[in-house]
Structure 1
Amino acid sequence: MRFSAARTADRFLPDRLSQPLRPWLLRLDQVLDGSTEHAVAQRVSLIAFLVRIVSAAIALVSQVIFARWMGQFEYGIFVLVWVTVVILGNLSCLGFQTTVIRFVPEYLERQQLDHLRGILFTSKAFALTLTTCIAMTGAGLVYYFRDGIEPYYVAPFIIGFICLPMIALGDTLDGTARSRSWALVALTPTYIIRPVLTLVVMSIAHVAGLPPTAVVAVVSAIIATYATTLLQLFVVNHRFKAVVVPGARQIRFGEWFSVSLPIFLVEGFFFLLTNADVLMVGRYLEPDKVATYFATVKLLALVHFVYFSVKAGAAQRYSELMHTHDHDQLAQFARDTARWTFWPSLAMAIVLLLLGKPLLYLFGAQFTDGYPLLFILVIGVVARASVGPAESLLNMAGKQKICATVYAVTLIVNICLSILLIPVYGLAGAACATAFSMVFEAMTLAVTVYKCLNINMFVFAGRTSARPAAHNPENLL
């Protein structure tokens, strides 16, 4: 017999308490049971949310230890190198990690198993091949232009490029698992296992007496990433054997790439947007300032990961609803995801502002200089949360090009403001540039979704009526 929160409350609580709680507990039971597609999306989002909470705690502890061991300067070098490597690894997939989320449910529904085998193979092979070439090229360029780069960055960057293929493969496996709503398989390796292993390897190096430098930290992260990604590859392949038996593959690379490229532009601009502030701070300021800013942004991730959690559960459901062509149901689900994103984000933002200073002190006394930045950055994060995973909806609706344009413009706004503000106002300038660009992004995405799909995703918006044209498949795909 399955666990039931409603039955448990009826059994152990008096009627005056259990009866008012019963509607809420029945809803919780539905989410945990996954008895409907809507409940499955909620369950995936809940699992993703819990994973990100655990991940945030692990990341906070590990980054505090790294900062304490390495000092502000070396920690700042490591931060800039690792953020750059992760960005390049993610971009190197060229959108295939999201394309699989769109096509796997479609091929399973239509029983096109040869197409399914083809996209599963192609997504992994493409990620590994392309990123290996990019890694070799990047390392060669850094070595060739080493005289024009600060000497303390050269070795960490060259070594860091070794990790690109595994980061790209891990992102592809994440998307592959999410296409089947395997939230734990998708998220646990990247957000829990990898940071824990990185801390373990770094701790072993520390006990062994190796100097706590950026190079040692980068090597520790590389070892952890390779071990984690290979484990995830084994698990994903094993679970897919129960979904589709081995057989012939049909490769439709041109079709998949034509879908992936706009998605790559969307997610590439978004990923750059979420990390551009750290890169711009590294461009204009010293590594110790990079360290302070990154520690502040790391705390902000405690709020921002609510959005990523909802997105993890919503993308597949968006894709399924697109194929049913039920606009009313799609619109209601989109508004639900905006609520799931906004209210937890707002609550966590308030808690973070109350606890931000002591949390930053954990990194070191000098890191508390970043506390005032939280008040600026939180404005942008909460504004972004008010429209939920709007870009995911646009991607699944085939509006990748429009979404890419939105992010391109937002990224340009962010970079231009950073160039103007950081040299004058330092870290406060970077925070203002980021917050303003996030508000601009939220407003633009909300307007775009409404214009393209007649869905108002703003959390405080009322119900929108469906246009007749919205039911036409050609307008949704």
Structure 2
Amino acid sequence: MNDIASAGRPPDSAPPPEAGSGRVARLREALADILRGETDRTLAQRTAFLAFAIRASSAAIALLSQILLARWLGSHEYGIYAFAFVAMVLVGGLIPLGFPASGQRFIADYSESGRTELLRGFLFGSRVFVVAFGTAAAAVGMLGIWLFGDQIGGDYRLPLFLILVCLPAYALTDMQDGMARNYGWIDLALALPYLVRPLIILAIVGGTMLAYGRADAVTAAYALIAAIWVTGMTQLVLLEVRLSRRVPRGGRAYDWKTWLVTSLPIFLVESFYMLLTNTDVLVLSIFESPDKVGIYYAAVKTLALISFVPFAVTAASSHKYAEYGASGDRQRLEGFVRDTVKWTFWPALGATLAILVAGRPLLWLFGPEFVVGYPLLFVLVIGLMARATVGPVDRVLNMLGQQNVCAIIYAGAFALNLVLNFSLIPMFGMAGAAWATSIALIVESALLFLAARSRLGLHVFILDRRR
């Protein structure tokens, strides 16, 4: 009633203009606090904002690059490149064996305790390890293609062989990403792989188009090799410069047993997650033509902005979960978990609505034949939003000693996803792949929520009726 009555007041009884300016002032003050504040919360917000800004910018660049690649290559060659690229991302993401994530714990621990010899040993040894392992994996993969290449589709063989050259540098970049995040160097962690790399690919493929009038999946594979190695080596040099100012010189000590024992459970979590998020494209390539694979992959890439939101929040928050857990500060831990869930869900929801509205014209930009993938967006976002409701719950579990439980959940979700893909794709094609992924993500999100509640007593969900 008071609201209705106040609506009928004459203009001279309206709230003074200072009320509106006061709200603006409070908003400006809040933004200034995020930009210049030194509390853990504002530092995490600023880091998340910077990470999201870089990833949002990279989303625009990545979307543009995928559109141009699809236009230049055509749906058939684009589908071949998509398969080879996803295979490289899957294998390359597994090579570090969980060291990038566990490193956030080791670097913080060694820095706080003053064990600088172990700190220097981890910073050096982990990178040598992932490059060596990546080189070995590439050699084994090439040998496998040479020996059993007849079992691989002829269109896929050469691009897949070439992309294996990327593995050592891709794994090194992943390792250095984790190191840079731990020191708060989000620009160094993300700018080169997510902003510069796609631009190099565009420049090489676009230059080939201008020079020869055509390009194919092999051209794109060569471009990817150059982009990953150039950005990886540049990041290595820049990281060394910054570390030389932050870490005192001296000898190195190595604790490989502790590093491996801690990293391997995290590796299991990440491997099952990588398999979960990439199985659809790989299985689809078994049953469908490269054209269909390309259309499906274009739909997935159109939704990439949604996945960048949790990525940004995770980049800012993982080490804080470990810090609050180690200190026993339960109140700050619970408050920070609530914050990170909100930072994940609401921006993801906004991005989802925007993409669904603009999805059809966005897919048309890839080429007229890609518009048939528009209905897939509505299926895929179901799983993505289910995942957003629990925020970075997997990182909460990993950083607080529950990585084994997390690994079991991801293993189950991957197994479910694999069964669903092989069951639904032969019957429903691209739609089957989309439904398989979304159902698996829903089940995974529910299990992660239950694990956090039962194991840690944390309510990691966007809705909290207890408050």
> What TM-score do you get using the length of structure 2 for normalisation?
0.95
| Greater C-alpha radius of gyration | 2
Q: Which residue of structure 1 aligns with residue 63 of structure 2?
A: 60
User: How far off is 1:463 after superposition?
Assistant: 5.0
**Post-superposition CA distance 1:279-320 (Å, at most 9, x none):** 111122111011000000001111121111111111121122
5 Å-filtered alignment, 1:221-300, equals: 221-300=224-303
Residue ranges of structure 1 left out of the alignment (5+ in a row)? 1-13, 465-477
Aligned mates of 2:192, 2:328 — CA distance in 1: 34
5 Å-filtered alignment, 1:29-108, equals: 29-108=32-111
User: How far off is 1:109 after superposition?
Assistant: 1.2
Aligned mates of 1:216, 1:341 — CA distance in 2: 37
Q: Which residue of structure 2 aligns with residue 362 of structure 1?
A: 365
User: How far off is 1:209 after superposition?
Assistant: 1.1
SS at match of 2:246: coil
User: How far off is 1:210 after superposition?
Assistant: 6.7
Aligned mates of 2:465, 2:143 — CA distance in 1: 55
Residue ranges of structure 2 left out of the alignment (5+ in a row)? 1-16
Match of 2:223 among 202, 220, 223: 220
Aligned mates of 2:260, 2:67 — CA distance in 1: 41
**Post-superposition CA distance 1:330-368 (Å, at most 9, x none):** 111011100110011111111111110000000011101
Aligned mates of 1:318, 1:29 — CA distance in 2: 25
Is the 8 Å Cα contact of residues 143 and 154 (structure 1) preserved in structure 2?
A: no
Match of 1:159 among 162, 186, 197: 162
What's the C-alpha RMSD, in Å, of the aligned pairs? 1.2
Aligned mates of 1:150, 1:355 — CA distance in 2: 35
The reply to whether residue 371 of structure 1 matches residue 374 of structure 2 is: yes
Aligned mates of 2:211, 2:166 — CA distance in 1: 23
The reply to whether residue 169 of structure 1 matches residue 176 of structure 2 is: no
Q: Which residue of structure 2 aligns with residue 11 of structure 1?
A: none
Distance 1:34-1:221 versus aligned 2 partners, 3 A rule: farther
SS at match of 1:249: coil
Match of 1:441 among 429, 439, 444: 444
Is the 8 Å Cα contact of residues 72 and 214 (structure 2) preserved in structure 1?
A: no
Is the 8 Å Cα contact of residues 390 and 461 (structure 2) preserved in structure 1?
A: yes
Aligned mates of 1:139, 1:395 — CA distance in 2: 34
SS at match of 1:241: helix
User: How far off is 1:323 after superposition?
Assistant: 2.1
User: How far off is 1:429 after superposition?
Assistant: 0.6
User: Partner amino acid for 1:313?
Assistant: A
Aligned mates of 1:284, 1:303 — CA distance in 2: 28
Distance 1:34-1:280 versus aligned 2 partners, 3 A rule: farther
Aligned mates of 1:395, 1:71 — CA distance in 2: 42
User: How far off is 1:34 after superposition?
Assistant: 3.8
Aligned mates of 2:177, 2:333 — CA distance in 1: 24
Match of 1:148 among 135, 148, 151: 151
Aligned mates of 1:424, 1:160 — CA distance in 2: 31
**Post-superposition CA distance 1:173-195 (Å, at most 9, x none):** 00000111111111111111111
Is the 8 Å Cα contact of residues 131 and 172 (structure 2) preserved in structure 1?
A: yes
Aligned mates of 2:177, 2:337 — CA distance in 1: 22
Q: Which residue of structure 2 aligns with residue 416 of structure 1?
A: 419
The reply to whether residue 343 of structure 1 matches residue 354 of structure 2 is: no
Aligned mates of 2:118, 2:95 — CA distance in 1: 23
Match of 1:450 among 448, 453, 460: 453
**Post-superposition CA distance 1:395-443 (Å, at most 9, x none):** 1111111100010000011110011100000111111111111111111
Aligned mates of 1:417, 1:177 — CA distance in 2: 38
User: Partner amino acid for 2:182?
Assistant: S
Distance 1:446-1:143 versus aligned 2 partners, 3 A rule: same
**Post-superposition CA distance 1:423-468 (Å, at most 9, x none):** 000111111111111111111111011111100011101458xxxx
Q: Which residue of structure 2 aligns with residue 190 of structure 1?
A: 193
User: Partner amino acid for 2:228?
Assistant: T
Is the 8 Å Cα contact of residues 300 and 374 (structure 1) preserved in structure 2?
A: yes
Aligned mates of 2:433, 2:250 — CA distance in 1: 52
User: Partner amino acid for 1:355?
Assistant: A
User: Partner amino acid for 1:132?
Assistant: T
SS at match of 1:42: helix
Is the 8 Å Cα contact of residues 44 and 317 (structure 2) preserved in structure 1?
A: yes
Match of 1:128 among 123, 126, 131: 131
SS at match of 2:390: coil
The reply to whether residue 316 of structure 1 matches residue 319 of structure 2 is: yes
Is the 8 Å Cα contact of residues 57 and 195 (structure 2) preserved in structure 1?
A: yes
User: Partner amino acid for 1:447?
Assistant: L
